[in-house]
Every structure is written in structure tokens, then in C-alpha cells.
Amino acid sequence: MLSSFDPRINRLGLPESAPPPPDKAALDQFPTYEVFHQRKENAAYAYVGPVHAPEADVAFLFAKEQFSRRFPCTGLWVVPTSAIQVTGYVGDQESVYDQLPLLPADALPAAAAATDEAYDIFHLKKRGKAHAHVGQVRAASPEAALQQAKAAFGDQRPVVNVWVICSADVLRSDDDDRDMWTTTPDKKYREAIAYKVQDRIDRFKQEG
């Protein structure tokens, strides 16, 4: 048995040595969901990172834990990574919309069809920064949604990269549940400001 000075480790009864385990299967953990958060009321949702989860509800719980516990947050969206359509990347001064194939003037339908779905559009303004939500369009496919997005948001610059997400694939926090974002006031120990260490150092030096 592996022996440690730490009684907590000894209680685990771990073997002294063991043959290396076989490599994991390609997906032994869970699939990923991408998470977007809202820093304050009325601010655009911005990309914060992925979580691994077996399903969307669990992804939301993990995302809340991972991305909202330390900083202000007023809303959270989670989306399966596989549901996000990603364009190519262009340089920091350019717009990726300029690279879309030009369509004939009548290619964009004048009126939305009843079967059209809503799509959420996210722009990356600068390489290395995070994607932010710019709005919704209605279209029949992700490709058509990208053309609609160009018409609606194409004048914004720069646009380094665009994410197109079918709105039905987004699990969103509910406005009625807003009180879940209220950080418990007695968790000040997680804030740097709660540590008044200089007072103690000064006192120590005076007494020195």
C-alpha cells in the first residue's frame, strides 16, 4: 500500500504501484456546451467558455457554478458545441461578411416564411477576445441566417468571426429566476477586498 505522511491519503488504501491504465476512449467524459453570460442587466451576452455535461440542464448547473460564482452575472445561456456554426477567421481590421459569396439582389426573401426559425448571431471583434451577441435573425437555414446577419449587422466593423446558433438550441436562464444571481452577502471571503492584511503588517511593524 502507498504510504503517505498524510493520514487522509493512507485511508484511501491506494496501491504502491500499478500498471498504467489503458488510454481513455474518445469520449469518456461528457460532450461540451459553450457558455455565454450577461455581466449586468441589458449588457450583451458574451462567450465565457465551455463546460462538459451529459445534457443541457446539467450543463446549465455546471456553467452557473463555473462562470457566475465569482463575478456579477445577470443571465446565462448554454448551447451544445455541435450546434454552433462557425465562419472562417479574418484579420483584426476586416469583416468576415466581406468573404461571403455575393448573392443576387433578389436572393434574400423579402418576407420571412412561416417555417423560418430564429438564429442568434455572435461577433468576434478582435482576435483573442470573446464572442458577443449582436442580435437575432429569422431564416430557413444557418447559411441563410448568415446572409440575413450580413444584411442586419454587416455595417459593424471589424468582424473577425461569426457564430450562428439556432435559437431553439440555446437554453436560457429565465427572467423570473433572477434572484438566483444574487450573490450571498456572507461569501465575502471569496473577494480580495475582504483581506485587510496591510493593517496587520503595520501593527506588527509598530510593535516590532
Partner 1 sequence: MYGSASTHDIPAKATTGLENEDPILLAEFEARIARGEKIEPTDWMPQLYRKQLTRMIEQHAHSEIIGSLPEGTWITRAPGFRRKMAQMAKVQDEVGHAQLLYSAAETLGKTREQMLSDLVNGKSKYSNVFNYPTPTWADSNVISWLIDAGAIVNQMANAKGSYGPYCRALDRICAEEAFHLKYGHDAVVHMATGTPVQRKMMQEALNRWWPAIMTFFGPSDKMSVHTEILMRWKVKMATNDACRQQFLDMYVPKIWEIGLTLPDANLRKNEDGVWEFTEPDWEDFKRVINGDGPCNAERIAVRRAAEENGAWVRRALLQPQARYVRPLA
Residues of this chain that interact with partner 1 (CB under 8 A) are 2, 4-6, 8-9, 12, 14-18, 20-21, 23-32, 34, 47-52, 54-55, 58, 66, 70-71, 80-82, 84, 86, 88-89, 91-92, 126-131, 160-161, 163, 187, 189-192, 194-195, 197, 200-201, 203-205, 208
> With respect to partner 1, which residue has the nearer C-beta, 125 or 138?
125
**Positive or negative: CA dihedral 65, 180, 177, 175:** negative
Least distance to partner 1, CB of residue 172, Å: 19
> With respect to partner 1, which residue has the nearer C-beta, 2 or 180?
2
> With respect to partner 1, which residue has the nearer C-beta, 102 or 194?
194
Least distance to partner 1, CB of residue 106, Å: 32
Q: CB–CB of 49/76 below 8 Å? A: no
What is the C-alpha separation between 87 and 203, in angstroms, rounded?
59
Least distance to partner 1, CB of residue 176, Å: 28
Please name the residue ranges forming H helices in the chain.
Answer: 7-10, 56-68, 142-153, 197-207
> With respect to partner 1, which residue has the nearer C-beta, 30 or 153?
30
Least distance to partner 1, CB of residue 192, Å: 4
The three cell numbers of residue 140 are 430557413
Is 200 buried (19+), middle (13-18) or exposed (0-12) by CB count in 10 A?
A: exposed
What is the C-alpha separation between 150 and 74, in angstroms, rounded?
29
Q: State the maximum Cα–Cα separation within the chain, in Å, rounded to a whole number.
A: 83
Q: Scan for cell 455541435, then name that residue.
A: 82
How many Cα atoms sit within 13 Å of 93 on the Cβ side?
Answer: 0
> With respect to partner 1, which residue has the nearer C-beta, 31 or 138?
31
> With respect to partner 1, which residue has the nearer C-beta, 168 or 197?
197
Least distance to partner 1, CB of residue 168, Å: 18
Kindly state the DSSP code that residue 63 receives in the 8-state scheme. H
Least distance to partner 1, CB of residue 75, Å: 18
